[in-house]
């Protein structure tokens, strides 16, 4: 839970009067670190307002994302992010929410020559048996 600005100001006033961080922290039942952070916040911003975090500065247009993915199906997420002006993690999250998969083509495809692919295991087995014969019984 965040402390109120009035409470923060009272703690800083007490610290300025007494000049002792530990005593002020014990008096207000806060940690020394919290008090140090408030002092730094006051120096940096001149105020004790809560800092706001970045968050989502701009929304990504979902239709533009769909259109770009349709036009560039092999684009990486970082390339899409550069085009849209956001981060790759934002693109990944949005692709997931839109249920757009980014799977690349597999090694098994319709145009594959089955005769050539069936030769590979036989060739690999032959090479292994020949190598085993060269190595001897113990494999050395």
Across 41-45, average pLDDT: 92
Same domain, yes or no, for 58 and 28? no
Q: Could you count the other beta carbons within 10 Å of the beta carbon of residue 62?
A: 12
**pLDDT for residue 87:** 87
Is residue 64 in some structural domain? yes
**Percentage above 90 pLDDT, the chain:** 34
Task: Kindly tell me the sign of the dihedral angle through the C-alpha atoms of 38, 43, 44, 48.
Answer: positive
CA 112 distance to own-chain centroid: 37
Task: Output the pTM of the full model.
Answer: 0.42
Name the residue range of residue 22's domain.
5-45
Same domain, yes or no, for 58 and 79? yes
64-98: pLDDT as tens digits:
989 999 899 888 889 999 998 888 888 888 889 88
98-133: pLDDT as tens digits:
888 866 556 666 656 666 655 555 555 566 566 555
Is residue 126 in some structural domain? no
Task: Kindly tell me the sign of the dihedral angle through the C-alpha atoms of 42, 47, 53, 56.
Answer: negative
Is residue 58 in some structural domain? yes
Is residue 110 in some structural domain? no
Residues in the chain: 140
Domain count across the chain? 2
Same domain, yes or no, for 38 and 67? no
Close Cβ partners of 52 (under 8 Å, ≥ 6 residues apart): none
Across 1-20, average pLDDT: 91
């Amino acid at each position: 839970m965040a402390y109120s600005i009035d409470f923060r100001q009272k703690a800083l006033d007490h610290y300025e009067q007494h000049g002792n961080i530990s005593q002020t922290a014990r008096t207000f039942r806060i940690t020394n670190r919290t008090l140090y952070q408030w002092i730094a916040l006051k120096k940096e911003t001149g105020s004790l307002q809560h800092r706001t975090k970045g968050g989502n500065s701009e929304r990504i247009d979902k239709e533009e994302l769909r259109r770009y993915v349709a036009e560039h199906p092999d684009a990486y997420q970082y390339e899409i992010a550069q085009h849209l002006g956001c981060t790759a993690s934002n693109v990944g999250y949005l692709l997931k929410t839109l249920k757009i998969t980014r799977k690349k083509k597999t090694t098994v495809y319709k145009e594959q020559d089955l005769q050539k692919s069936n030769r590979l295991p036989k060739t690999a087995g032959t090479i292994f048996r020949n190598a085993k014969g060269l190595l001897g019984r113990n494999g050395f």
